């Protein structure tokens, strides 16, 4: 393998020679997952093989937005509870119930999102295993 500085991503470019059968398997995998280049397929395989999460760009952006929004909600809920505990605001029983419900729901939502991320990671590992099995014939 040869390694050189990559100019487009700030990473390293790696060159490798593949047999005709390996190239055919790589191209078939590229078509199956809808990757735009062989580099994308190889990158996905490497990332998946070590357990890194490989999400489509749109899903990754949506997950980042959800994470940021949940963080903001959590901060707001904690600020409301802190202000109420310090006597800065008066809250009725119903409002306290709503705040407590939110405080209980946010960790459950976080657990659910972690499950989504874990499932995506498992899918990536399955993709890598399928590629290895295809190579073995």
Nearest to 131 by CA among 59, 31, 58, 2: 31
If you search the block for the tokens 């470019």, which residue do you land on? 13
Residue 51 main-chain phi, psi, to 5 deg: 85, 10
Q: Are 124 and 52 contacting, i.e. CB atoms less than 8 angstroms apart? A: yes
pTM equals 0.46
Calpha distance 16→2 (Å, rounded): 7
Q: Looking at domain 1-50, which CATH architecture does it have?
A: Orthogonal Bundle (1.10)
Per-residue pLDDT of the chain (137 residues; tens, 9 = 90+): 334 444 456 788 889 999 999 999 899 888 887 888 999 888 888 887 777 766 667 877 888 888 888 888 888 888 888 888 888 888 787 788 888 888 888 888 888 888 877 777 777 677 767 767 776 76
Q: Are 96 and 20 contacting, i.e. CB atoms less than 8 angstroms apart? A: no
């Amino acid at each position: 393998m040869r390694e050189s500085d990559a100019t487009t991503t700030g990473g390293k470019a790696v060159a490798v020679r593949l047999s005709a059968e390996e190239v055919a398997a790589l191209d078939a995998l590229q078509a199956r997952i809808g990757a735009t280049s062989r580099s994308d397929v190889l990158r996905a395989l490497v990332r998946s093989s070590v357990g890194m999460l490989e999400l489509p760009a749109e899903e990754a952006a949506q997950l980042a937005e959800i994470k940021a929004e949940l963080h903001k909600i959590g901060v707001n809920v904690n600020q409301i509870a802190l202000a109420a505990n310090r006597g800065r605001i008066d809250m009725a029983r119903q409002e306290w119930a709503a705040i407590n419900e939110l405080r209980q729901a946010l960790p459950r939502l976080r657990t659910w999102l972690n499950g989504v991320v874990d499932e995506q990671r498992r899918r990536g590992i399955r993709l890598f295993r399928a590629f290895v099995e295809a190579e073995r014939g």
